[in-house]
Structure 1
């Protein structure tokens, strides 16, 4: 196990997160400049894609980290059947939920998995995704940190699940059991024209801030209880490829789809680099009820 992963098992996560938040939102010119310059240099951030390419123009490190992109630098796959990768980053894992070994389980790394119910905080919510598909995308500090819709959906409910703040880097994914089901996260449930879709925003070390386009800051400081918000009847519809949320630092987003609605795009594999808007999966044509036609 690498030293950082070992340290995250004993570090005071909440205290560090609180300190990191103060630094991230600081408008002190020296602090802001040092943080931005360090990340740009260490992670080779491509600011030519940003709507504001001048690192000195950002009022805080968080403003830099959640920067918007120039118009047209990311485009959605033109095939209307394509569900989209929701963020820049790398595929951590993707595949069938519970396939081929254990029902309802999501693969994390060799010898490690967790259940959809653990991730979503509900057996009932997880049942909708039995034998469906999942894709886990890891956002590194160099990546664009806004998350967009894989498919058009109507917001039904959000669930804030308090938890730890382990690192979600590759080493931690390999060594920390049930990592994504233990970290703090915001589960966003959408209704679509093929059924339910869940987009899970997973926090990480020094990260517990998630903002959504419909509610602003969604994760309260030091929350201790699962908090559900019901959005049914409010008519919050987000179109395919529209921005839905943002992280205040690098983290992970997990998309869950029900069984029989889509096939994962070929070529997606662990550690594969991906970009917002490229194809995640392709919708499977549905036979109308009562039809005897074959697909």
Structure 2
């Protein structure tokens, strides 16, 4: 393993001591402000720094966004993302890069080389869900600040359960994901369970430092406020939202991470997926087995 430099060690240590919640709340406050020309200038600087492709956005001008939050969750032009139409194909849920993907070894998922985390930790101890997804498949997609921040459905699905799990707000960038053990199972997250033609599927929206909020299409903003305990919502009958393949299911106000879980022997992940594979909404994530 490559020895870390002094500054890399400082960067990791800072994650443990910095006021994560305060910084995130401050970022959330700033992102809501509508300061006219000041906001537009700041958005322009951000877009230039992170090389945001504004030509695919529905509104291409920086002045079209009254706040950073509007800019972060900007919709794309109708034709910007093509959803794979094959009935046996599941689609990628987000623009970004594959952080890890592959087989769930009993109850363990690979976070990064040398680091694993368990289904029990990730799913907040929900034993029924843990048992349902042992030996299944998973894919973790990292959304950087430059990426489109809306999250879409890989396939048709009916929501059966949503769980909010409070937690840390570590940054989820690739370097820290590699060096902070159990990071994805320690961070705040929203777990969404769907019934699909491919078996049960879980799509998890993971929070991070300065990710001001996580929202879903059916419940709106989940956080803030940030509860101190695990909260769960069950959906059934007319109360159960059904979403179509490619439909928006959630959004981040600044990028973070999406984790997809599939049951054993239900899907085969696409052959081209590997660490650092660039992802786009609508491209193939997996095929039905």
TM-score when normalising by structure 2: 0.94
Hey, what does 2:116 align to over in structure 1?
A: 113
The match for 2:255 is 250
2: distance between equivalents of 1:54 and 1:142?
16
Cα drift, residue 8 of structure 1:
1.5
SS in 2 for 1:9: helix
More displaced 10-residue stretch of structure 1: 275-284 or 189-198: 189-198
The DSSP-based 3-state class of the residue aligned with 1:186 is: strand
Instruction: Confirm whether residue 59 of structure 1 aligns to residue 59 of structure 2.
Output: no
Summarize the Cα distance change of 1:33–1:188 in structure 2 as closer, same or farther, 3 Å threshold: same
Alpha-carbon shift at residue 35 of structure 1 (Å) = 2.9
Are 2:189 and 1:189 aligned? no
Is 1:215 paired with 2:258? Answer: no
Q: Which moved more, 1:76-85 or 1:32-41?
A: 32-41
Structure 1 residue runs of 5 or longer lacking an equivalent are 285-295
Aligned length: 280
Q: Deviations over 1:34-74 (max 9, x none)?
A: 43122101110000000000011101001001000001110
Tell me how far 1:32 sits from its aligned partner.
1.6
In the alignment, what sits opposite 1:165? 169
SS in 1 for 2:249: strand
Distance in 2 (alpha carbons) for counterparts of 1:74 and 1:59: 25
**Cα RMSD (Å) of the superposition?**
1.2
Q: 2:135 aligns to what SS in structure 1?
A: coil
Any conservation in 2 of the 1:14–1:222 contact (CA below 8 Å)? no
CA displacement at 1:30 relative to structure 2: 4.6
CA distance, structure 1, for counterparts of residue 49 and residue 264 of structure 2: 41
| Counterpart position of 1:269 | 274
Q: Helix, strand or coil: the match of 1:117? A: helix
- Scaled by the length of structure 1, the TM-score of the pair is 0.92
Measure the CA separation in 2 of the matches of 1:238 and 1:222. 26
Deviation for aligned residue 1:31: 4.2
Distance 1:84 1:115 in 2: 25
Report whether the alignment pairs 1:21 with 2:21: no
String of CA shifts for 1:185-237, please: whole Å, max 9, x gaps: 00001111232110000001111511111111112323210000111221310
Task: Indicate yes or no: 2:81 matched with 1:81.
Answer: no
* 4+ runs deviating over 4 angstroms: none
